[in-house]
């Protein structure tokens, strides 16, 4: 029988505690800019919006990301393979704005080992928290144009017709910006994982 503490919604009033910006007398512990001066790898931006079941933007959600460095190593001692890249921490947090919008400035992660030692395509974990969500919903951001997506063991478990919801679209003019919208419900509902 499970003995864990249950999750509860983050509610509508987390901003001053978790993502205060400059609007409250409190400091941010985390940022949506993961870049450290000495980090190697391709610098990218990920932008998107969060939508509810009516297609309305969600202005009071919080997103957290977790990713490996460009060499595919996590800044966690439990990843015992090698030291991670420079001071790169691989964790970011962003509250959505009035348009449901968010952005992260980071580097494109490298491939990391998957089940049975099979490599996983570059991806970023994304957790969505909001009023009306009794716990966070976790998804993955993959990258359009990445050849390794075709052999990714996790994408392979996702029904083919829903995979596109996990692929961030590359910006039109070659700018290293990717678009990743989150739909909590609806025809284009984002794939979330049972973990």
Partner 1 sequence: MSLIYPRESNAAHAPRLSPTYKSTVKRSPTKPLVIIPHTLSELTGPVYGHETVRENDNDLTIQHKSEPLGERIIVHGHVRDEDGRGVPNTLLEVWQANACGRYIHVVDQHPAPLDPNFTGAGRAQTDGEGYYRFVTIKPGAYPWGNHHNAWRPAHIHFSVFGHSFISRIVTQMYFPGDPLFAYDPIFNSVTDEKARMRMVSSFDLENTKPDWALCYRFDIVLRGRNATPLDND
- Scan residues 74-103 and list those touching partner 1 (CB under 8 A): 74-79, 89-91
Distance CA 126, CA 138 (A): 6
- Residues 6 or more apart whose CB falls under 8 angstroms from that of 144 comprise 167, 168, 169, 170, 178
**According to the binding rule CB under 8 A, does residue 154 interact with partner 1?**
yes
Q: Tell me phi and psi for residue 95, to 5 degrees.
A: -85, 150
Instruction: Decide whether 36 or 135 has the Cβ nearer to partner 1.
Output: 135
Instruction: Decide whether 157 or 175 has the Cβ nearer to partner 1.
Output: 157
- Scan residues 158-177 and list those touching partner 1 (CB under 8 A): 158-159, 162
Q: Residue 100 region, left (φ>0) first, then alpha (ψ -120 to 50), else beta?
A: left
Instruction: Decide whether 178 or 192 has the Cβ nearer to partner 1.
Output: 192
- Scan residues 19-38 and list those touching partner 1 (CB under 8 A): 20, 23-26, 29
Residue 70 CB neighbours (<10 A): 19
Show the binding pattern over residues 106-145: x = contacts partner 1 (CB under 8 A), - = does not: ------xxxx----x--x-x-x-xxxxxxxxxx-x-----
């Amino acid at each position: 029988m499970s003995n864990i503490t249950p999750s509860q919604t983050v509610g509508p009033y987390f901003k001053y505690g978790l993502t205060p910006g400059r609007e409250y007398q409190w400091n941010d512990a985390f940022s949506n800019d993961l870049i450290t001066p000495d980090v190697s790898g391709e610098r990218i931006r990920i932008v998107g919006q969060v939508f509810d079941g009516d297609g309305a933007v969600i202005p009071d959600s919080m997103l957290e990301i977790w990713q490996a460095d460009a060499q595919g190593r996590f800044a966690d001692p439990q990843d015992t393979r090698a030291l991670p890249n420079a001071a790169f921490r691989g964790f970011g947090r962003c509250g959505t704005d009035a348009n449901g919008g968010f952005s992260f400035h980071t580097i494109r992660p490298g491939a990391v080992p998957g089940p049975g030692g099979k490599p996983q395509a570059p991806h970023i974990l994304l957790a969505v928290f909001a009023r009306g969500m009794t716990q966070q919903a976790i998804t993955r951001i993959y990258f359009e144009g990445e050849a390794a997506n075709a052999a990714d063991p996790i994408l392979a478990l996702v029904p083919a017709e829903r995979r596109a919801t996990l692929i961030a679209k590359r910006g039109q003019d070659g700018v290293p910006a990717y678009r990743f919208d989150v739909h909590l419900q609806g025809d284009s509902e984002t794939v979330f994982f049972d973990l």
